[in-house]
Amino acid sequence: MRAVQVKEFGGPEVLEVREVPVPQPGPAEVVVDVEVADVMFLDTRLRSGWGGDFFALSLPYVPGGAVGGVVSAVGAEVDPGWLGKRVVTQTAASGVGGGVPTGGYAEHALAKAETLVEIADGLSTQQAVALAHDGRTALAVFDSAAVAPDSWVLITAAAGGLGTLLIQLSVAAGAKVVAAARGADKLALAQRLGAHAVVDYTVDGWEARVREITGGGADVVFDGAGGAIGGQALTAAADSGSFLGYGSAAGDFAHVDADAAAARGVTVVGLFDVVAGEIDWNSIARRAQAEVAAGRLEVVIGQTFPIEEVERAHAVIESRSALGRTLLTIGASL
């Protein structure tokens, strides 16, 4: 089968489409004939050689932590009723709050039977895969924030896969959203999705502008940018507000001044604090699909690339020009 391999760490050029053996399922696993693979910012970081202290990668490896397609083989302990079903799933090596996002950029991928989620009627495989990570995480993060009607919400990396969902969820809850992103195209997307105000965080003093717009600071900050931008976003939180840092689009998680936050009564919650709770991830995945299928939530797929153009997929993410979710098409997507 064809798969993308990383044989050495480096730039997008180290991604090679090669012939590799078809995987065989273990007793509790299945093989998915992959139509679409999710492409994450984390994939680009790992490919570059970052994260060795956190992710046990050994070369060569196949990137990709989530896929959608049709179940073509099942292990001895798996219900054969899964055969032929359209599913979205994490790869067998991946896992919420653990594992390594590998094995997905391939024509066939292994998955654990327990992580399979059947794709809802009315949803395309592309939509389901775009929700594979972002839909679940967005709902988990949003649920933990208890966004109140008429409150102010600041969202950084607002034009990314998670940010676009959090804008819509916050607006639907009756909140007023300030969307922070980079460049006119991303800000226009945020406004189309319902943001009440937008700010470009490449402009000096953007966080002060947020405090001005909100009349003293946002009640809830959803930080998908991380790094120095996340640290600035924390200063835009209202006294006694909440700061939820779930992303690292700027290269790392937010640079948080914990003492300063505590002095203002700002509650700081990290992604691992959220995912450490008792969450039924399959149930929340089905809920995300149902919201999209019902038309209450739009999943933004900004760009798709065939497997032969995987280098471009990574390059567009690293250039910070990607909108919404980036996907790799491998088989015949429905």
Residue range 134-275, CATH number: 3.40.50.720
Q: Compute mean pLDDT per 10 residues along the chain, 334 residues long, and list them.
A: 97 97 97 97 93 85 97 98 98 80 97 97 96 94 94 97 97 98 97 98 96 97 91 94 80 74 88 78 95 96 97 96 95 58
CATH 3.90.180.10 for domain 2-118+300-329: yes
CB 328 within 8 A of CB 313: yes
Torsion of CA 319, 325, 327, 333, to 10 degrees: -160
Q: What is the pLDDT of residue 292?
A: 97
0.95 exceeded by pTM: no
Q: How far apart are CA 327 and CA 34, in angstroms?
A: 12
Q: How far apart are CA 259 and CA 261, in angstroms?
A: 5
Q: How far apart are CA 330 and CA 328, in angstroms?
A: 6
Residue by residue, DSSP assigns 56-68 as ---SSB-B-SEEE
- What residue segments make up the domains of the chain, in order of their start? 2-118+300-329, 134-275
Q: What is the pLDDT of residue 334?
A: 42
What letters, b where the CB count within 10 A reaches 16 and e where it falls short, cover 90-126? bbbbbeeeeebbbbbbbbbbbbbbebbbbbbeebbbb
Q: What is the pLDDT of residue 83?
A: 98
Q: Please state the separation of Cα 283 from the chain's center in Å.
A: 17
Q: What is the pLDDT of residue 11?
A: 97
Q: How far apart are CA 323 and CA 189, in angstroms?
A: 8
